[in-house]
Structure 1
Amino acid sequence: MLNPQGRVLYDLLLYKIDALFKEESSILIECDNVIREDLVNILKKYKLRKKISISLFDDFSVWGVIPKVVQTQAEDSSKDFDYTNDQNLFFLSHDPRINSFGYRLIYPSNLDATNFLENCELTKDAYDNRCLELGVSEGVRDLPPNNCFPLEANLVFLNGVSFSKGCYVGQELTARTHHTGVIRKRLMPLVARFDDETKELKAEQQPTAIFSETSKKECGKVRNWKGQRGLGLLRLAECLLAEKDSLILRGKNGDNLGKVETSIPYWWPKEDDEIIKQILNKIENK
């Protein structure tokens, strides 16, 4: 969902589930928990005279289900998935963003999904680590409302933006940026390269920026960080063409926290983006 200036308001996942209610058509919307009430207010403003009802539900919780059989980043997570007690299963759907990201499970909030799912990772830590490993953004921390653009957040690669569905709020700037092909900053995965491989940053050491020793200036902002991985909005060319070990994590006081690396995630359609193709050609010719 975008604002009129083409900036991201909220990232949402929609599920069309008619069996839940008596009405002919019902849609569940998954969103960051902290913006639920704001989202309802916005939707009510846009419904105009349509005879629809919009309300919050606490009856269900959402689980990110990652099959343990997925050994590599690019492997399709639709393989070998077991559940032992499907009578309480409400709705299980392949995550619509990328194949290797697992499933979304909508399950009664008064029940524990770990009791019937097997061969899966169901902890919050496992899910957060998978997001950072693959460079997948979600929620207001990764996508601060009114402060980021959908193409910089790779949402077009995650089935979050359409260029064929017609008009929508914020479409004009989004379409123009897409067709010019000039997207110089993108959200990218970050991996720390500390001398001590077991080192993890403390809460007061959370990084805020990426500094390039090659250009002697800041080349990115850190949006999320956990353990030794993070997600940052980086200048593509500057970070990918930087000399090895020249990218530095910096804290909010400008202190150096250690070296960091980034790379293009496997799921980006590299041949469809002119900037990415140019950078890859330069890397090959170095």
Structure 2
Amino acid sequence: MVLSNIGECIHQYTIPTVDTSNETIIKKYLIKKRNVMYLIRFMYDYINTYTYLIFEIMNKLFQYKLTAFCAKMDFSLLSVTGEDSETFLQNQFTNDILELKNESIDHVLSGYCNPKGRLIAIVRILRFKKSQYLLIVPSELALLVLSRLKIFILRSKVKIELADENYIVTGVWCEKINIPIGSKENIEELVLLKDTDCPVLGERGWLIGEKNLILKSINNIKEKLLISDLNSNYWKSSEFFSSRFWIDKTSTENFTPQSVNLDLINGVSFNKGCYPGQEIVARTHYLGKVKKRLILASVNEEKIDKTQLKKDTPIFKNNSKENTSAKIGFVVDISYCQFEKNLNQVLLMIQCQINELKNLKDSDTLSLKEKNGPELALYALPCFSNEFNEIK
């Protein structure tokens, strides 16, 4: 086991303090020597254990042909422990937490709603240990989610706390991660979660574990394997290409799960019991009243003024033949894409009215901000097959 606190480790190898006021000089010398030997033994074991673990982590990532990683993620970890942790989480989130009992499923994407069915946050829930779950949450919403969850603990045997002091989450891209999507692999003291593919950098994964161990492993990977450490914007862009949108502090409690495609990417279960906002989410699903969806578009960076591009910028549908123009949606998130294939492209996650998307004609174009604004190029998201035909 890797011990994160060196002071605690030294204490384990140090003999208890004794009163040596009446001892001879020889006994004092022997006690000091014994303490030094224990300290040397600790340092030897500590260094060798870390070296071994780092080597094993690097070896596994090398087997998966690591192409890049993202050390500084905009995500935090919440730890949920206790006898009632499973039942508690099942009653709070949109997805079925009981599925994590299945050996082939170790983590799920899920929404956390208010009583009106509006998303407070989107989280990824991991069964980390037998009675411990880790929640991957956008850092700027971590304390909000933590405080809201604590309200509902009541008499449940559950403990929820911010785990950023002990654990860290990083992103990796590999040519091939040989585990199913939704499952995990234990790499010594760390956990690797298989996520969706990225069209440019390969298969994606979340690497979670003891903070010091991951940071030391990353430093060794950079120095010895010469693998690029990409900024968080790369991860955000790859999330966009994978149909993922994360609620942030500007959008919390503004969207329903269906309006951000969460039901299309297995983030909502309609077969489980109650959770906050469940009645509204279920009614929208069964009555077929989903009126808005997210789509992905891009615009050339040279054609826009970055200072004026922001969330809530309107999107227009234009038809030059019919000389018509109408506002059909707005920008909900932005990522400045730096992938080689999409260089100088600004990715826009847009919420649009479904009817307008279904009725797009060959002569229709989408523009940013105004009728004659910069023209947008649409991407077909993986959650839609045959463009928008599956939107209901």
Deviation at 1:259, TM superposition (A): 0.3
Partner residue in 2 for 1:130 = 238
Q: Do the aligned residues in 2 keep the contact of 1:223 with 1:233 (CA within 8 Å)?
A: yes
Cα distance in 2, alignment partners of residues 223 and 29 from structure 1:
24
Q: Do the aligned residues in 2 keep the contact of 1:245 with 1:261 (CA within 8 Å)?
A: no
Amino acid at match of 1:258: P
Cα distance in 1, alignment partners of residues 380 and 389 from structure 2:
9
Give the alignment's TM-score, normalised by structure 1.
0.75
1:276 and 2:373 equivalent? Answer: no
Amino acid at match of 2:348: G
Partner residue in 1 for 2:208 = 106
Structure 1 278/62 Cα, relative in aligned 2: closer, same or farther at 3 Å? closer
Deviation at 1:158, TM superposition (A): 2.0
Amino acid at match of 1:219: I
Amino acid at match of 1:25: S
**Count of aligned positions:** 247
Cα distance in 1, alignment partners of residues 283 and 197 from structure 2:
28
Q: Do the aligned residues in 1 keep the contact of 2:316 with 2:371 (CA within 8 Å)?
A: no
Cα distance in 1, alignment partners of residues 285 and 217 from structure 2:
40
Partner residue in 2 for 1:230 = 348
Q: Deviations over 1:140-176 (max 9, x none)?
A: 16x8111101011111122211011111111111111
Alignment of structure 1 residues 146-185 onto 2, 5 Å: 146-185=253-292
1:33 and 2:139 equivalent? Answer: yes
1:16 and 2:127 equivalent? Answer: yes
Q: Aligned-residue CA RMSD in angstroms?
A: 3.1
2:367 aligns to what SS in structure 1? strand
Residue 61 of structure 1, aligned match among 155, 160, 168: 168
Amino acid at match of 2:330: K
2:375 aligns to what SS in structure 1? strand
Q: Deviations over 1:194-215 (max 9, x none)?
A: 4xxx626443131512111235
1:91 and 2:210 equivalent? Answer: no
2:156 aligns to what SS in structure 1? coil
Question: Identity of paired residues, percent?
Answer: 25
Residue 376 of structure 2, aligned match among 260, 272, 276: 260
Partner residue in 2 for 1:4 = 115
Cα distance in 1, alignment partners of residues 298 and 217 from structure 2:
31
Q: Deviations over 1:43-92 (max 9, x none)?
A: 1111110122111122222122222x3xxxxxxx6359xxxxx55x5211
Q: Do the aligned residues in 1 keep the contact of 2:265 with 2:383 (CA within 8 Å)?
A: no
1:128 aligns to what SS in structure 2? helix
Amino acid at match of 1:91: V
Alignment of structure 1 residues 232-247 onto 2, 5 Å: 232-239=350-357, 241-244=360-363, 246-247=365-366
Structure 1 65/234 Cα, relative in aligned 2: closer, same or farther at 3 Å? same
Structure 1 146/206 Cα, relative in aligned 2: closer, same or farther at 3 Å? same
Deviation at 1:266, TM superposition (A): 2.6
1:47 aligns to what SS in structure 2? coil
Partner residue in 1 for 2:307 = 204
Cα distance in 2, alignment partners of residues 49 and 155 from structure 1:
31
Cα distance in 2, alignment partners of residues 64 and 268 from structure 1:
25
Structure 1 113/173 Cα, relative in aligned 2: closer, same or farther at 3 Å? farther
Deviation at 1:263, TM superposition (A): 4.1
Amino acid at match of 1:249: L
Q: Do the aligned residues in 2 keep the contact of 1:248 with 1:259 (CA within 8 Å)?
A: yes
Q: Do the aligned residues in 1 keep the contact of 2:194 with 2:206 (CA within 8 Å)?
A: yes
Residue 78 of structure 1, aligned match among 177, 182, 187: 177
1:222 aligns to what SS in structure 2? strand
Deviation at 1:5, TM superposition (A): 0.8
Amino acid at match of 1:180: L
